[in-house]
Structure 1
């Protein structure tokens, strides 16, 4: 089988899928898609790759041509598929088999929670707009767009902090589902939060969340795949002119 990942590394869900591919040791071809420039809306992409017109998208083809090409969109669906099909001994740690249905359900719970409590409050594209806009508009973007998103994300971070406060016998920070080994839930939410950490925001009010995120970000594949977002975040941070409330937003 040949796997092709259509993605962009400034996209949180795309990074989550690519990190998982590397964690599982699965070979894949990389095809960068300029989603910000509208490439996902081109007729060829909707027709041949993903009719949902989003990234990531994974194409799985049989070199012999016996079964054609299977294309899948949506990062959560892709990651579950990879864990079910990859010939990897670590795949059950990321998402367990049927004989561990309760543990899988717990992972599913946090992945579902992610949409309305973390991803819903994504600030990064507004931060990009603030970075590129005229100085006279920067405070308006901060007041009308970023602060409401920060308020929503603070609620999600508080929930994560409370969950991570539960007793544990582990010396290292526990992952969301109570084990040392991260799961798809950890990877999904961590990629989302890492976007704004790369810009320079710090979770002073949520030390357990910060420790948990640092643990994931230190994993080699996470670190490597996140290089582009760190570079972009550094540029925004250095040129923000003090408009971003990096120290106060989550303090």
Structure 2
């Protein structure tokens, strides 16, 4: 079986899938897609993923091809088909444990409307590349509304994680991270790398740091750490890095 991941390391969902592939020990080829340059809208990529988004997965299972988009769907598929089912079911048990799967699905569904919805990274990149006279305008008119929108979700995550008394915090509550932890932590680590502080959310901060320091996440995150450092060094005067406490 041959697997190719079409993705980009500055894409939060792409990193979540890449980390999971490594966690499950699934051999794959990483094909970088220039999504900022419009490559997802080319004919060749539309054949891979009609949704024209990254990440996308191509699987050739002995002549039977599978083309799949949307990171949540890709990660569920990988867990259902991984050779190491004992390891995969820690991340997502599927039918083996419907109740735990439902708890994970709950947070995956919540992710899109409450964290992904307030993605700031494209605006941070614009801030990084624009003229100084426009940087404060980007902060006030584009970034501030997204920061305000994200705050209730951070408060909900903080309350949920604070109720977990034992083991490593994880959204399903049993000490092992799941697909939901991967999806949401990759989203929030994007702005932590830029320098945003989470002083009012200590449980969220500890959870994010623990997820980011897992060996495979750390290996996949080198590019976003470098990009975040560059943005922080050149634009910290224009960023409300204390927006979350």
Shared fold per TM-score greater than 0.5: yes
Question: What RMSD over aligned residues (CA atoms) do the two structures have, in Å?
Answer: 1.0
Measure how far apart 1:43 and its partner are: 1.4
Cα distance in 2, alignment partners of residues 157 and 241 from structure 1: 22
Q: Which residue of 2 aligns with 1:250?
A: 244
Q: Which residue of 2 aligns with 1:228?
A: 223
Which has the larger helix fraction?
2
Q: Which residue of 1 aligns with 2:178?
A: 183
Q: For residues 111-190 of structure 1, what are the structure 2 equivalents within 5 Å? A: 111-168=108-165, 170=166, 172-190=167-185
Where do 5+ consecutive residues of structure 2 fail to align? Answer: none
Runs of 4+ in 1 over 2 A off after TM superposition: none
TM-score by length of 2: 0.97
Instruction: Tell me if structure 2 keeps the 8 A contact 1:201–1:249.
Output: yes
1:51 aligns with 2:47: no
1:106 aligns with 2:66: no
Q: Which residue of 1 aligns with 2:11?
A: 11
1:91 aligns with 2:88: yes
Aligned residue for 1:93, secondary structure, equals helix
Q: Which residue of 2 aligns with 1:39?
A: 39
Change (3 A) 1:188 1:167: closer
Cα distance in 2, alignment partners of residues 213 and 241 from structure 1: 21
Instruction: Tell me if structure 1 keeps the 8 A contact 2:17–2:75.
Output: yes
Measure how far apart 1:166 and its partner are: 1.0
Within the candidate set 203, 208, 211, 2:203 is matched to: 208
TM-score by length of 1: 0.95
Please give the per-residue CA displacement for 1:134-171, whole angstroms capped at 9, x wherever unaligned: 11111111001100100111111000001112142x2x
Instruction: Tell me if structure 2 keeps the 8 A contact 1:173–1:211.
Output: no
Cα distance in 2, alignment partners of residues 29 and 241 from structure 1: 36
Where do 5+ consecutive residues of structure 1 fail to align? Answer: none
Measure how far apart 1:179 and its partner are: 1.4
Cα distance in 2, alignment partners of residues 167 and 74 from structure 1: 30
Instruction: Tell me if structure 1 keeps the 8 A contact 2:123–2:142.
Output: yes
Instruction: Tell me if structure 1 keeps the 8 A contact 2:120–2:191.
Output: yes
Aligned residue for 2:30, secondary structure, equals strand
Within the candidate set 180, 189, 198, 1:194 is matched to: 189
Cα distance in 1, alignment partners of residues 107 and 221 from structure 2: 22
Q: Which residue of 2 aligns with 1:79?
A: 75
Cα distance in 1, alignment partners of residues 17 and 139 from structure 2: 31
Measure how far apart 1:2 and its partner are: 0.3
Cα distance in 1, alignment partners of residues 179 and 99 from structure 2: 15
Aligned residue for 1:59, secondary structure, equals strand
